[in-house]
Amino acid sequence: MKEYLQERIASSLQSLGITSDMPVTLEKPRQAAHGDLTTNIAMMLAKGQKKNPRQFAADIVGRLQIDASLVSRIEIAGPGFINFTFTEKFYRQELSRLLAHEQMFGRSDVGKGKKTQVEFVSANPTGPLTVGHGRGAVYGDTVSNLLEWTGHDVTREYYFNNAGRQMRVLGDSVRLRYLQAVGEQVEFPEDYYQGEYIKDIASHLKDEFGDGLKNEPAEGKFKAQAEKEIFDDIKKTLKSLGIVHKTFFNENSLYEDGKIKEVLEEFKKKGLSYESEGAVWLKMSALGGEKDKVIVKNTGEPTYRLPDIAYHVDKFRRGFDLIVDIFGSDHIATYPDVLAGVKALGYDEAKVKVLIHQFVTIMQGTEVVKMSTRKANYITLDDLIAEVGADVVRYFFLMRSMTSHLNFDLVLAKQQSDENPVFYLQYAHARICSIMRKAEEEGQKAGSTPNLELLKEPDEFDLIKMLLEFPETVQYCAETFEIHRLAEYLQDVATAFHKFYHNCRVLSEDAELTQARLALCNATKAVLRNGLAVLGISAPEKM
């Protein structure tokens, strides 16, 4: 419909002798009284035409040729908006199209199978995932869902490093706890990992080996055991949120395959790096950055920048046409270096989308809970899931824009479990399922050829209009990565349904009307189910 009107308006402008590269934008007006779609094109062009916007709008409308069976009303309003109102026939047509492809409704192929990688979570295995990781995890998984729904070929990837200083400290933390467990008097440094899980790992080793590991180095069994156990836990946590990565990419492989060396040599060849004070520097100043950065320390060890760049080069070499990176705001300063690096090596950095989400502030009532993996005073993602459930966790992380800081009040989240917005959505779905069950009991099962002409109540049309917005909402969210818009949209669908349910009785003596309304219920159910599926939230038949 949008395309149709755009084309008609463009042709009207042409017949007025106006050529402009100004796109004709059609939007849904905020107020229903202003019709179904509106355009501000007359206001946009009026100035160049030296005309009064309203008069100009009238000229455009005068030349407009539109199928009257689709559009019932065209009016000029306000400072020069042109408003279009669609016919009931048009909406009935669209509704029967929806009913014909329920499961597919909302899916599209605009992505054209584009090879896409989404990298998210990417926490090193030094401890359980925190609530802070949770936001990125859920966001990344849902972005992946959206891209799949819009026809992208998506790979979910987790990048980690088990070779750095962090991991050495982790191994040594386990070693010291182990020594303590077998009765040695050793001091445990303050800046080591304090969590209980370190003691658990140590005691597992004690169970298996007794005191036979007393002289084992930290980097041996201790580190290996810690990495294994912690990674298993991380994967289990993610799984409980419905998140499964296809690839776990180890930073180490970049060294083993010589990719780090390659990138280093490439920079040198291009004259973009130099040695100074025993270190190798990247000429960020020549790449649009503020100052040069070290990429290899004077110890010969690379800084994180070099592998990060090499990793992204590898993503390009694997043939990804869209590369989505999801970081917390604490990594805000690292990505410009990476982007400048890949660009300098001749790759199109526009294919890399870096999405930064703001932090979650955990509140215990009015008290802020400060989080630190090193110290043990954090709330794990597991704790949170156990307390409020996976659906609530996912929804809470998705319902707000990623650029805004999120306050997650544990007391409220627990307490609210009855009045939670996610239940409002699920309730609508369960309610429809209940109507279906009841209908079947009464022998009024939804038929295959409902007479949609019988739908004429305003509440019915409000609901139909809302349902038909689903595909464009999915596409919009996939393009902008603004997932909260989908969550809000589904809230609106649920509201429209509850209103319809309240004012229009579905199961009645009138068999034909019952059929029509059951069809509308089915359409609503499909949108809710599909929408919740994108968000990764269950759509229960009963609650």
Partner RNA sequence: GCACUCGUAGCUCAAUUGGAUAGAGCGUUGGCCUCCGGAGCCAAAGGUUUCGGGUUCGACUCCCGACGAGUGCACCA
Among 252, 421, 447, 533, binds RNA (CB under 7 A): 421
- Please, which of residues 290-309 interact with RNA by CB under 7 A? 293-294, 297-299, 301, 303-304
Residue 538 engages RNA in binding (rule: CB under 7 A): no
Residue 353 engages RNA in binding (rule: CB under 7 A): no
Among 465, 485, 533, 538, binds RNA (CB under 7 A): 485
Nearest to 194 by CA among 169, 231, 230, 168: 169
Q: Which is nearer to RNA, 124 or 150 (CB)?
A: 124
Sign for the pseudo-dihedral over CA of 485, 487, 489, 495: negative
Bridge partners, residue 279, by sequence: 276
Using the contact rule CB under 7 A, the part of the chain among 177-185, 263-271, 384-392, 411-419 near RNA is 411-419
- Please, which of residues 116-145 interact with RNA by CB under 7 A? 124
Q: Which is nearer to RNA, 494 or 528 (CB)?
A: 494
Task: Answer yes or no: are the C-beta atoms of 100 and 92 closer than 8 Å.
Answer: no
Q: Which is nearer to RNA, 165 or 269 (CB)?
A: 165
Residue 479 to residue 476: CA distance in whole angstroms:
5
- Please, which of residues 242-301 interact with RNA by CB under 7 A? 251, 276-279, 293-294, 297-299, 301
Task: Answer yes or no: are the C-beta atoms of 129 and 160 closer than 8 Å.
Answer: no
Residue 148 to residue 322: CA distance in whole angstroms:
13
Q: How far is the CB of 372 from RNA (least distance, A)?
A: 10
Residue 336 to residue 173: CA distance in whole angstroms:
34
Q: Which is nearer to RNA, 33 or 68 (CB)?
A: 33
Residue 346 engages RNA in binding (rule: CB under 7 A): no
Q: Which is nearer to RNA, 83 or 117 (CB)?
A: 83
Q: For the purposes of burial, counting CB atoms within 10 Å of the CB of 164, is it exposed (0-12), middle (13-18) or buried (19 or more)?
A: middle
Residue 128 to residue 386: CA distance in whole angstroms:
14
Among 77, 287, 354, 355, binds RNA (CB under 7 A): 77
Among 406, 516, 526, 534, binds RNA (CB under 7 A): 406
Q: How far is the CB of 493 from RNA (least distance, A)?
A: 11
Q: Which is nearer to RNA, 16 or 355 (CB)?
A: 355
| DSSP annotation of 195 | -
Using the contact rule CB under 7 A, the part of the chain among 15-23, 230-238, 239-247, 434-442 near RNA is 434-442
Task: Answer yes or no: are the C-beta atoms of 484 and 398 closer than 8 Å.
Answer: yes
Instruction: Identify the residue whose tokens are 């019709």.
Output: 35
Residue 333 engages RNA in binding (rule: CB under 7 A): yes
Question: What is residue 99's three-state secondary structure?
Answer: helix
Q: How far is the CB of 208 from RNA (least distance, A)?
A: 30
Total residues binding RNA (CB under 7 A): 88
Nearest to 161 by CA among 153, 170, 152, 174: 170
Nearest to 523 by CA among 459, 454, 470, 477: 470
Residue 345 to residue 49: CA distance in whole angstroms:
47
Helical (H) or strand (E) element with 82: strand 81-86
Q: How far is CA 498 from CA 187, 296, 495, 539, in A?
A: 63, 61, 5, 16
Among 325, 388, 501, 522, binds RNA (CB under 7 A): 501
Q: How far is the CB of 303 from RNA (least distance, A)?
A: 4
Q: How far is the CB of 248 from RNA (least distance, A)?
A: 15
Among 505, 510, 511, 512, binds RNA (CB under 7 A): 505
- Please, which of residues 2-61 interact with RNA by CB under 7 A? 25, 27-31, 33-35, 38, 40, 43-44, 47, 53
